[in-house]
Amino acid sequence: MRLRSPAVARDEVDALIEAWQRERPDLPVAPLAVLSRVTRLARLLDRARREAFAEHDLDLGDFDVLAALRRSGDPYQLSAGALGASTMVTSGTMTHRVDRLVVRGLVQRLPDPQDGRGVLVRLTAAGKERVDAALASLLAQERGLLSTLSADDRQHLADLLRTLLLSVESE
């Protein structure tokens, strides 16, 4: 089984695959060529994101909340339920995150005029400034991670990953 072109530089995954081929020749290890690299890239991306957000005194959860509000458009507010759904966290986790961001002056809680018991979470001017700066840092980090790929290669990779993700998410 040929997993790579001789002209391509070797990485740690190549060594991992060769070791499994040697130790378990009865198993088809080809999926490792893609998915082990995706896993390694996810770890590197997570590290880059943490660094980008830390520059702005945010963690991943803080950024998720602020970014969801920023993407919602003016007036940059969502119900607590919509915010939780957007960030895919439980209501308890969302309450904790919003509490921390309120104390820091990055969001505020408002009564929901559509639901007397509901709460809206709104991005403050300071929160908008912070999330915009953190996003700029994140995009700079991500451009660096992708800098060895041409624009066409980046688009091709994005298309392939979208196809794979849609397939996996629909199962």
Within-domain flag for 159: no
- Does one domain contain both 86 and 104? yes
pTM of the model: 0.83
Same domain for 66 and 36 = no
Q: Would you say residue 140 lies in a domain?
A: no
pLDDT in tens, 117-171: 888 999 999 999 999 999 999 999 999 999 999 999 999 999 999 999 999 988 8
Cα of first residue to Cα of last residue in the chain, in angstroms, is: 29
Question: Both 73 and 33 in a single domain?
Answer: no
Q: Which domain covers residue 33, as residue numbers?
A: 11-54
By C-alpha distance, which of 71, 154, 156 is closest to 63? 71
CA distance 68 to 153: 29
For the stretch 76-113, pLDDT in tens is 999 888 898 888 888 889 999 999 999 999 999 999 88
